Amino acid sequence: MSKKTTIYDIAKKLNTTAATVSRALNNNPKISESTCKLVRETAAEMNYKPNKLALALQSGKSGNIGVIVPRIDSNFFASVIRGIEDELYPDYHVIICQTHEDEKREIENINTLLNAQVDGILMSVSNVTSENDRMIKRVVEKNVPLIFFDRKKNMDGVSSVTINDYDGAYLATKHLINEGCTRIAHFSGDRSLEIFENRFKGYKQALLDNEIEFNENYVFQTKSSVEAGRAAVEKLLKLENPPDAIFSSSDFAALGAIQELKEHGIKIPEDFCVFGFGNEPFTKFMELSISSVDQSPMEMGEMAAKVFLEQLNNPKNLKMEKKVVLNPELHIRKSSSRHSL
């Protein structure tokens, strides 16, 4: 393995000092342009690679940004990350961490990123962050820009980029009502998370505004999985007066619901309508395409990155609170369209 070239090697070849080489490589105005050019050319010839850690210590910036998500094996979070990278590349490299909805992992992720001296952290909190508030606040205390996206905590001095989950749920439920559904069930995620609580509130308010009685027996807390959707439908169909529609906070649970309904010989959308949330790619490619609320993940990632840059480039904004709320978009497809597409 060949020896790595250092500024001392360059200085020796040019018969000058390491300090002069360092200043020339950093375009110090005290060094003449001719000397800077000579040093850069010599460094290139000797295949010199700057020490990134040393540069980070010198500038106070690492050129890295941390992104914490519950998981990356979903189109939504993968698209958010792509939006972040598209906005920040090539100035920043993204370090991706997964929590897997685990409190210990979330704490470890934050610690790892802080120890790596990242220039900021963009984070979608896990289901179990009630005990992690102190660790999250530590990020703010260390003056590291912190931006929540999608799943957030309401904390002083922390910005966020979210979608209007309440409106998305309200509009989806209103659509089901307009299609003639009167007994609408709701698959809710963990309502300790604000996004799922807001979706529940939007669903409930749409019922009340249209003079449809809210039935708590129609509300099931489900995981974002096909299996959870199937299990919930199995329970719903055993009710004395089962529903005729489902608004699900998850496309995966919506897919499971459709599979279970079909196995019971229930026609969709003639006898039963289903509306999901997330606009996962599979929703539009199925033979029975699934209606869903689009969360604009690419735009969310780009906006989170822009908020980060705004804070980083203006020290006075390090602890600003900027709340960006994106508008939801409904994609109406076969699973909820009794009248027309």
Please report, for the domain that includes residue 33, its CATH number.
1.10.260.40
Residues 159 and 308 in one domain: yes
Residues 6+ apart with CB under 8 A from 177: 184, 206, 207, 210, 212
Q: Are 115 and 142 contained in the same domain?
A: yes
Interaxial angle between packed helices 226-236 and 251-263, expressed in degrees from 0 to 180 and rounded to the nearest 10: 50
Residue 318 lies in a domain: yes
Statement to judge: residues 140 and 224 lie in one domain: no
DSSP 254: H
What total of structural domains would you count in the chain? 3
Domain that holds residue 239: 165-294+330-336
User: Do residue 186 and residue 147 come from a single domain?
Assistant: no
Mark whether 43 and 157 lie in a shared domain. no
Do 39 and 12 belong to one domain? yes
Q: How far is the first Cα of the chain from the last one, in angstroms, to the nearest whole number? A: 65
Residue 70 sits in the same domain as residue 216 = no
Q: What CA–CA distance (Å, rounded) separates 209 from 184?
A: 14
Residue 85 forms part of a structural domain: yes
The verdict on 244 and 153 lying in the same domain is no
Examine residue 57 and state whether it is found in any structural domain, yes or no: no
Please report, in tens digits, the pLDDT of each residue of the chain (341 residues total). 457 788 888 889 999 988 888 888 877 888 888 898 898 899 888 888 766 555 554 555 778 999 999 999 889 999 999 999 999 988 889 999 999 988 889 999 999 999 888 999 999 998 765 666 778 888 888 888 999 999 998 888 889 999 999 999 999 999 999 999 999 999 999 998 899 999 999 999 999 999 999 999 999 999 999 999 999 999 999 999 999 999 999 999 999 999 999 999 999 999 999 999 999 999 999 999 999 999 999 999 999 999 998 887 765 655 567 899 999 999 999 999 987 55
Residue 2 lies in a domain: no
pTM above 0.85, yes or no: no
The answer to whether residue 55 is domain-embedded is: no
Q: Which two tokens stand for residue 42?
A: 């010599």
Same-domain pairing of 309 and 261: no
